[in-house]
Amino acid sequence: MRVAVVGLGKLGAPLAAVLASKGNDVLGIDVNPEAVRRLQEGVAPVQEPGLQELVTANAKRLSGTTQLEAAAECDVTILLVPTPSDERGAFTNAFLLDAIERVGRGLADRDGYHVVVVASTVMPGSSESELRPAIEQASGRQVGDSLGLCYSPEFIALGNVIRDMLEPDMVLIGESDARAGDTLEALYAGVCENDPPFRRMSLVDAELTKIAVNTYVTMKISYANTLADLCERLPGADVESVTGALGLDTRIGGKYLRGAIAYGGPCFPRDNKAFAVLARDLGTEAPLAEATDAINEAQSHRLARVVLAQLGANDSVGVLGLSYKPDTGVVEESPGIALAALLAESGVREINVYDPVATDAATLVLGDVAHPCASAGEVLERSDVVVIATPWREFAHLPVERVADRDRKPVVIDCWRLLADDLDEAFTVVRLGTPLETHVAR
């Protein structure tokens, strides 16, 4: 098929490359000329593992333009533009509407069947109330005639976007009508390598399912973090044992059930807020979503208290891991950055930071409150207390030789229980989710 992907960002760029890798002719569109120029030159517009290789291998099926109207030359247009949250926490559709109107104007000048697919995260109800009228007005077509409308979000984790697109647990398709859904199912069936179930439904059901998945997953994370907090106060407890067994119950499942620190990134933190806004707008409440969010917001303070309890006067702190999760350089809502900022507010005199890919991005956010380091070893050398905030694999093997001649062993706060037990010789290891001396009531 000929597919236009509008928005060549963290999701759109990998989707364009994945679609091209399965034989589709893909037109990548973005208002940012730099993203388009990169695609045209065979350079991945964003950093994502495996993306550059896919772009290079499929360059002949990937073209780019800043002209949104050109999407009309394709059979399907997939929109992956931002839907930033407003001050209430609701997702906003201004970028989507702008994109849809321009795509619609292109469609007005052409014949032939076309499906517009919204893949951005939207408030449930958006497709019917705002997006359908906008595309109908701009294109002069009626949805259901020569125009189909689908809502089909991606379920991906940054750092694993390509694999997640090729092997999704399910493909969710909200559809205006069967022809639109059939067209999109045919496209995605040709992309998926694992024969996933397709769930086809109304537009609003798909919109609600997307946000329900994320609020449910984050509820599990906040639940596990609550267990970790309890275990830190309960003599002999170990959150890993508890969640390990809990997850074996098939009614619960073990994924995302890991007691550690806050979830972050561009999606999870805003989904519960939007869910709660939706409930309020519908005249009800969503206390589970509100509690999930409130528990998450409390996690950086919980961690800062653990760190401060380990600090002597004038001690320095190191933060290892500044991206919000491993295998990505994204620093939005990063727990490592939140911790560094809280420690600075508390008057910690020196905060040393390092991340395998995100040190520069984090330094832009933190400014001069943190000292950027070139390696985990440098952080160790300069710091009395070191926190492993992001579970990058390299942090499981800290270079002990860098602290061998220190009089006082550095404290390492291991939020994800990465370190091998034999490192207890080199460091004083504090494992979150196990009893903390400072927390257990005597």
Ligand X SMILES: NC(=O)c1ccc[n+]([C@@H]2O[C@H](COP(=O)([O-])OP(=O)(O)OC[C@H]3O[C@@H](n4cnc5c(N)ncnc54)[C@H](O)[C@@H]3O)[C@@H](O)[C@H]2O)c1
Q: How many residues make contact with ligand X (CB under 6 A)?
A: 27
Binding marks (x or -) toward ligand X, 116..155, rule CB under 6 A?
----xx--------------------------------x-
Structure tokens at 322: 């500044």
Q: Residue 47 in 3-state DSSP?
A: coil
Could you say which of 74, 150, 231, 267 is catalytic? 267
Binding marks (x or -) toward ligand X, 68..107, rule CB under 6 A?
x-----------xxxx-----------x--xx--------
Asked if 32 is part of the footprint of ligand X (rule: CB under 6 A), the reply reads yes
Provide the H-helix boundaries in 46-189.
51-57, 94-108, 126, 132-139, 161-166, 178-189
With contacts defined by CB under 6 A, name the span among 25-33, 247-255, 294-302, 355-363 that binds ligand X: 25-33
Binding marks (x or -) toward ligand X, 361..390, rule CB under 6 A?
------------------------------
Asked if 35 is part of the footprint of ligand X (rule: CB under 6 A), the reply reads yes
- Ranges within 36-75 binding ligand X (CB under 6 A): 68
CA dihedral over 269, 301, 242, 288, signed as positive or negative: negative
Structure tokens at 271: 């989904």
Structure tokens at 368: 């001069």
Binding marks (x or -) toward ligand X, 262..281, rule CB under 6 A?
----xx--------------
Q: Please state the φ and ψ torsions of residue 285, each to the nearest 5 degrees.
A: -135, 160
Measure Cα distances from 269 to 176, 215, 295, 409 in Å.
Answer: 30, 9, 11, 36
7, 104, 181, 336: residue in contact with ligand X (rule CB under 6 A): 7
Asked if 215 is part of the footprint of ligand X (rule: CB under 6 A), the reply reads no
* DSSP-assigned letter for residue 369: G
User: Amino acid letter at 341?
Assistant: A
* DSSP-assigned letter for residue 69: G
44, 70, 118, 158: residue in contact with ligand X (rule CB under 6 A): 158
1, 31, 237, 400: residue in contact with ligand X (rule CB under 6 A): 31
Closest residue to ligand X, judged by C-beta, is 9
Measure Cα distances from 289 to 124, 217, 224, 326 in Å.
Answer: 15, 11, 15, 25
Whole-angstrom distance, CA of residue 158 vs CA of residue 167 = 14
SS3 content of the chain, % helix, strand, coil (to 5): 45, 15, 40
CB of 102 to ligand X, least distance (A): 7
CB of 99 to ligand X, least distance (A): 4
CB of 438 to ligand X, least distance (A): 35
* DSSP-assigned letter for residue 127: I
CB of 162 to ligand X, least distance (A): 13
Residue 84 burial class via C-beta count within 10 angstroms: exposed 0-12, middle 13-18, buried 19 and up: exposed
Does residue 373 have an active-site annotation? no
Asked if 207 is part of the footprint of ligand X (rule: CB under 6 A), the reply reads no
Catalytic residues: 267
In the complex, the residues that contact ligand X under the rule CB under 6 A are 6-12, 29-32, 35, 68, 80-83, 95, 98-99, 120-121, 154, 156, 158, 266-267
